[in-house]
Structure 1
Amino acid sequence: MRAHPMAGDTLLAVILGLLDILLFLSGAVSQEGTRTHPWFVAIPIDVLMVAPLAFRRKSPLWSAYAVLLISIVHTSLLLGVSSVVALAMSLYSIVVYVGRKQGLLYLGALVALNTVQTLTDQSTSWFGETLFTLFGLALCWTLGEFVGARRAYDEEVEARLHLLETERDQATRIAVAEERSRIARELHDVVAHSVSVMVVQADGASLALPTNPDLAGRALQTISETGRGALGELRRLLDVLRNDDGDSEPRVPQPDASALADLTERMRAAGVPVDLEVDDDLADLPAGVSLGLYRIVQESLTNTLKHAGTGARAEVRVRRDGETVEVLVRDDGAGRARQLEGASVNTGPSKKTPRLSVAGGNGLIGMRERAHVYGGTLEVGPAPAGGWQVRAVLPVRLTP
């Protein structure tokens, strides 16, 4: 009925019309037990009586007043019970879908029509029929008020939920923009460092070329490798760069994978025991990848400190495997991680928008953006043995 309202109302109208037609065919509509009206008069009026009910939710006013006019003829010819039911449904529909003002006008029209019919029929049981009619109208009005209030409440809740979803989406977009701006500033420093190295090596090569060609050749090789790395960083910088709002944050040297030991020491001092295991061959990682690796570990340990609970331990594993480097941060806490059980974050180099099903703050958004910038993957979710884990895989070599 809610998914296809017109189809449901049409079905109700058909059932009600068939009931009147069956009563007519059985002779039950005649006071003497015989049909007093030909079928080509009675059946079309029965159909017209229930037809407007199919539109009672799409056009409630038009449908209700059409029912009111046709019911005069239908009731006068004593063609069945559909007129009474249709009038009750019409009053209910106006109260629910239009409002009290129009409902009062329609109720007044019904009372006036019933009064005229009662005076015209001059029935001896007019008092009982009037009480029954008033009781039925009051019941329909009360039911309409209840359903209308419930419908208005549901619409208000839906509007508020839509507003909250819009605000959440806006907050997410703002967080993404801020994080990308931060990444862009960091990549700016990385590219500036690479260019500085290239300039120094080029000066050294020009000086050593006449006397030490081998040294000049090594300097040129360093320039070539640094330039390729800088091209990759620059491409990613252009991907995430946003307009600078004029903030003058001080430029400081950016950390890399070699600073993970200092980071874990600070976390231990803050009260979180951390086991660190790092491969030795991380020194030649591209500066941007090394920085992204550090930031992912930093954010993961910060979340452990905030949400894992008292007494939680954490472990950090950084392993290099060929052309990729994997970082795994896991804790054994019972804090917020258990409340998010079943959620995960999966991102990759695909052009499709990654799915973020963890109801987290800006930290998860930042890790997702870093993994996406370098063409890596990020998985966040409950650890198999309990607690929470973050696993990221980043490429070692960046293509220009």
Structure 2
Amino acid sequence: MSASRQHPVISMVAGETSGDMLAARLLSGLRPRLPDSLMHGIGGPRMAEYGFVNDWPMEKLSVRGLFEVLAHYREISGIRNQLRERLLAERPDVFIGVDAPDFNLGLETDLREAGIPTMHYISPSIWAWRGGRIKKIKKAVSHMLVVFPFEEAIYQQAGIPATYVGHPLAQVIPEQVDVQGARQELGLDPRFPVIAMLPGSRMSEIKYNTTAFIGAARLLMQREPNLQILVPMAGQKQREYFIRLLVENKLDDVPLIVTDGKSHTCIAAADAVMVASGTATLEVALYKKPMVIAYKMMEASWQILRHMGYQPWVGLPNILEQRFIVPELLQSAATPQALADALWTQLTDDANRAHLTERFSAMHASLLRDSANVTAEAVMKVIAQSR
């Protein structure tokens, strides 16, 4: 049993780039408390900086969309089964699933039934869609770590221990943005406007969003020939695939500044941002930037998912504000022309920019906590209870 070990063992699973960032923030608070503990599972390069050992590459789980997941189901299911058997034999002091609910909740259920404490970091969006999952969560999760203030009460009312830890991004991203410093770092011309385009970090997101995003960039260049267009890529595979799509769709004539990583620098440097729905929308809001939220996926997946939502919004800034504070263009609505028109308004409307800066500053303040230490303390309490 875990009590016989000198140092606690912690297992974690993060399934994508945003999860890697969130988990790394947790580890930055946890590793100083447990310098000699084994921390392993599935994660990314930021987690590895804190001595996290990857049993499988995180990219194996970075698939989005119902039918896209089905195509990789056998491999993903095999990884989960192998990890489950390993953890049941090892009996870590705690398992922490970081987002990736479709992968983690089933694994957490099996581990918890075997007496292994389980935590889940970042609530599934039960307040937006598939609210019935809270019953599954209650079976799966010993303690939930939530990142939005309103979520704590939802879980406590359901009898699930929960701690509001703030959103790590609110601490990582400065409240005052150094726009000129970011532009200098990227070698941009200070005389001309800058937009950033973030089509997503998953390969499936790049596949479905690239043509519309860069088609919109081409149209914007017709209005402002000196426009500087930044496109950060999460990794080499994503960059190579993105470049290939540009060539295949005859969009490689659009002058882009494609960066390896540096998404935060690109957002900081931008006057306006086009961003795929997901955690990146919150990043853009915390940088106080006007934005257009857009998303495309396999049509069959879209037809199913669009009927499952409880709210009219998909972007986190709009959900937190409970209104369309920034435009959302999804699936067939996300045409190059519609995206270009919407982003042009975000780029040129000064009154809108001032309003968004005010609202996003308030949002930043509401999400700001010492998340690294608050999450680490919650984990340490669960470990102490299990030993």
With normalisation by structure 1, the TM-score equals 0.21
Greater relative contact order (CA < 8 Å, ≥ 6 in sequence):
2
- Rg larger for: 1
- The structure in which a higher percent of residues are strand is 2
